[in-house]
Structure 1
Amino acid sequence: MLQPIVEGNLVSFEEKVYRVSACGADGTVTLKSLETEHSFDVPFTQVTLVEIDEDKYRIHNDRRLIWMEQTDVNPKELAIASERSKNINEYLQGTISRQQLVEKIGASETTTRRLLKRFDPELGAVSLVRSIRGRKKNSRLLSDIQEKIMEKAISKRLKDKTKKLEAFTSLWEYVDSLCHTMGVKTPSINALKKRLDSFGEKAIYSLRNGREAMLQKFDLKPGMIDVDTILTMVQIDHTRVDVIIRDEHGRPLMRPWLTVVIDLKSRVILGYYLALHPPSAVSVAMAMLSACFPKQDFPIALGGGLNTRHRFWGVPRALGMDNAAEFTSPELEANLQYYNIEPLLRPIGKKHYGGHVERIIGTLMGKVHLLPGTTYSNVLKKADYDAAKHSAMTFSAFCEWFAGEVAIYHGRSHEGLNRLAPFEVWDAEMAKKGKDYIQPMPGNFRTFALDFFPSVIRTVQPKGVEFSRSFYSSAILKRLVGQRLSFKYNPLNLSKIWLRQDGRYHEVPYSDLTKTPISYSEYWAFARPRDRRPGMLVDEELHQVRLDNYELVESSKAATKRLRQNVAKKITAAETMSFLTYSGEGSSLQLSTKEPSADQTRKKLNWEG
Structure 2
Amino acid sequence: DIYRPVARPEFGGAIERVIGTCMKKVHTLPGSTFSNIFEKGNYDSDGNAVMTIDNLEKWYLDFVINVYHKTEHSFLGMTPEEKFYQGLYGVGEDKSIPFLPVTVANTLKLRMALLPGINRTVQKNGITIDYITYFSETLRKYIIPTQYKKLKPELGKTVICRRDPRDISKIYIYDEDIQDYITVPYSDIRKPKMNLSELRASIAEARKKVSGRELEQHDIFEAHERLHSYVAQAKQEKKSIRRKDSSKKHQDKTLKNDQDRIDYKENQPISNTYNNTNKEDDSDFEIYPIG
- TM-score, scaled to structure 1: 0.28
Q: 2:44, 2:89 → 1: CA distance?
A: 50
User: 1:388 corresponds to which residue?
Assistant: 46
Q: Deviations over 1:454-475 (max 9, x none)?
A: 2101122221211251223412
Query: Could you tell me how far apart the structure 1 residues matched to 2:69 and 2:181 are?
Result: 39
- Cα-Cα RMSD: 3.4
Compared CA separation, residues 429 and 495, structure 1 to 2 (3 A): same
Q: Are residues 1:440 and 2:99 paired?
A: no
SS at match of 1:498: strand
Q: How many Å separate the matches in 2 of 1:377 and 1:399? A: 19
Instruction: Look up the equivalent residue of 2:140 and give its one-letter code.
Output: A
Partner-residue secondary structure (3-state), 1:479: coil
Separation in 1 of the partners of 2:44 and 2:123? 48
The residue type paired with residue 455 of structure 1 is G
Q: Are the aligned partners of 2:31 and 2:47 in contact in 1 as well (CA < 8 Å)?
A: yes
Report the counterpart of residue 523 of structure 1 in structure 2. Answer: 195
Q: Residue 525 of structure 1 aligns to a residue in which SS?
A: helix
Percent of paired sites with the same residue: 23
Match of 2:284 in 1: none
1:194 aligns with none
Match of 1:487 in 2: 160
Q: How far 1:507 moved relative to its partner?
A: 2.0
Change over 3 Å in CA distance of 1:458–1:426 after alignment to 2: same
**CA deviation string 1:191-240 (max 9, x = no partner):** xxxxxxxxxxxxxxxxxxxxxxxxxxxxxxxxxxxxxxxxxxxxxxxxxx
Q: Is the contact between residue 33 and residue 40 of structure 2 (CA under 8 Å) also seen in structure 1?
A: yes
1:393 Cα deviation from its structure 2 partner? 1.8
Matches within 5 A, 1:191-340: none
Give, in whole Å, the separation in 1 of the partners of 2:87 and 2:46: 44
- Aligned residue number for residue 204 of structure 2: 532
The 3 A distance-change label for structure 1 pair 530 and 361 is: farther
Q: Residues of 1 paired with 2:87 and 2:57: CA distance?
A: 29
Higher RCO by CA contacts (8 Å cutoff, separation 6 or greater): 1
**1:495 and 1:517 in contact (8 A); partners too:** no
Q: Does structure 1 retain, via aligned residues, the 8 Å contact 2:119–2:161? A: no
Greater fraction of residues in strand: 1
Secondary structure of the 2:62 match is helix
Alignment map for 1:79-98 (pairs within 5 Å): none
Q: Could you state the TM-score of these two structures normalised by the residue count of structure 2?
A: 0.54
Q: Shift of the alpha carbon at 1:444?
A: 3.3
Letter of the 1:462 counterpart: K
Cα 1:451/1:480, change in 2 over 3 Å: farther
Tell me: CA distance 1:422–1:367, structure 2 relative to 1, closer, same or farther (3 Å): same
Displacement of 1:513: 6.5
- From 342, 353, 356, the equivalent of 2:14 is 356
Aligned residue in 1 for 2:134: 471
Cα deviation for residue 425 of structure 1 reads: 0.3
Between Structure 1 and Structure 2, the one with more helix by share is 2
**Pairing of 1:545-584 with structure 2 (within 5 A):** none
On the 8 A contact 1:487/1:500 being kept in 2, the answer is: no
Distance in 1 of aligned mates of 2:55 and 2:25: 15
1:489 shift after superposition: 1.7
For 2:181 and 2:79, the matched residues in 1 are separated by 44
What amino acid does structure 1 have at the position aligned with 2:71?
A: R
State the AA in 2 paired with 1:421: T
Q: Does the CA contact (< 8 Å) of 2:123 and 2:143 recur in 1? A: no
- 8 Å Cα contact 1:460/1:480 also seen in 2: no
Q: Shift of residue 362 of structure 1?
A: 1.3
Conservation of the 8 A alpha-carbon contact between 1:497 and 1:507: yes
Q: Which residue of 1 aligns with 2:179?
A: 504
State the distance in 2 between where 1:501 and 1:396 align.
33
Q: Are the aligned partners of 1:412 and 1:422 in contact in 2 as well (CA < 8 Å)?
A: yes
Query: 1:515 and 1:451, CA in 2 relative to 1: closer, same or farther beyond 3 A?
Result: same
Q: How does 1:39-54 map to 2 (within 5 A)?
A: none
Q: What are the superposed Cα offsets for residues 538-589 of structure 1, whole Å, 9 maximum, x if unpaired?
A: 59xxxxxxxxxxxxxxxxxxxxxxxxxxxxxxxxxxxxxxxxxxxxxxxxxx
In structure 2, C-alpha distance between the alignment counterparts of 1:359 and 1:448, rounded to whole Å:
28
SS, match of residue 370 in structure 1: coil
For 2:143 and 2:202, the matched residues in 1 are separated by 35
Secondary structure of the 1:456 match is strand
Residue 359 of structure 1: how far off its partner (Å) = 1.8
Tell me how far 1:510 sits from its aligned partner.
Answer: 2.7
Give 3-state SS (helix, strand or coil) of 1:529's partner: helix
Q: SS at 1:488's partner residue?
A: strand
Distance 1:529 1:457 in 2: 23
What code does the residue aligned with 2:126 have? G
How many residues were matched structurally?
A: 191
Unaligned runs of 5+ in 2: 150-155, 211-291
C-alpha deviation, 1:381, in angstroms? 1.6
1:403 aligns with 2:58: no
Q: In structure 2, the residue corresponding to 1:476 is in which secondary structure?
A: helix
Deviation digits for residues 408-441 of structure 1 (CA, Å, limit 9, x no counterpart): 1111222342x22101101212222669x97532
Gapped regions of structure 1 (runs ≥ 5): 1-341, 540-609
**8 Å Cα contact 1:487/1:499 also seen in 2:** yes
Q: 1:426 to 1:526 in 2, by over 3 A?
A: same
Distance of 2:89 and 2:112 partners within structure 1? 32
2:87 is equivalent to residue 429 of structure 1: yes
Q: Does structure 1 conserve the Cα–Cα contact (< 8 Å) formed by 2:117 and 2:163?
A: no
Contact 1:376 1:382 in 2 (8 A): yes
